[in-house]
Amino acid sequence: MEAYTFSPDFELPKTPRPIAIIGAGGIVEEAHLPAYRKAGWPIHGIFDIRPDRAEKIADYFGITNVYSSLDDLITDTPTDAVYDIAVPASQLIDILVQLPDGANLMMQKPMGETLDESKDIMALCDVKHLTASVNFQMKLIPSIIAAKRLIDQGAIGELHDMEIRMNIHHPWELWDFLFGLPRMEMLYHSIHYMDMIRHFLGMPDRIYAKTFQHPKQMRLASTRSVIVFDYGDTPIRAFINTNHGHEFGIRHQDSFVKWEGTKGAIKATLGKNINFPKGEADQFEYFLSEQQERGWIQADIPGAWYPDAFLATMADLQCAIENPNSPHITSVKHAYDTMRLVEAAYLSNNTGGTKIPQ
**How would residue 57 be classed by pLDDT, with cut points 50, 70 and 90?**
very high
- The C-alpha atoms of residue 15 and residue 32 are separated, in whole angstroms, by 19
- DSSP E strands in 149-243: the ranges are 159-167, 206-212, 224-230, 237-243
pTM, two decimals, is 0.95
pLDDT tens digits for 194-231?
A: 999 999 999 999 999 999 999 999 999 999 999 999 99
For residue 314, is pLDDT > 50? yes
Average pLDDT on 341-354 reads 96
Per-residue b or e along 210-248, where b marks 16 or more CB atoms closer than 10 Å to that residue's CB: bbbbbeebeebbbbbbbbbbebeeeebebbbbbbbbbee
At 3 the pLDDT is 81
Report pLDDT for 184: 97
Instruction: Indicate the residue type of 160.
Output: H
According to the model, what pLDDT value does residue 127 have?
98
**Residue among 111, 101, 151, 155 nearest 134 (CA):** 111
Query: How far, in Å, CA of 350 to CA of 63, rounded?
Result: 46
Distance CA 214, CA 247 (A): 12
* Rounded average pLDDT over 80-97: 97
Q: What is the mean pLDDT of residues 60-85?
A: 97
Q: What pLDDT does 1 receive? A: 46
Q: Is the pLDDT of residue 301 over 80?
A: yes
Give me the mean pLDDT over the 42-46 stretch.
98
Residue ranges and CATH numbers for the domains of the chain are 19-137+309-324 (3.40.50.720), 138-305 (3.30.360.10)
How sure is the predictor about 277, in pLDDT bands with cuts at 50, 70 and 90? confident
Interatomic CA distance for residues 140 and 311, integer angstroms: 9
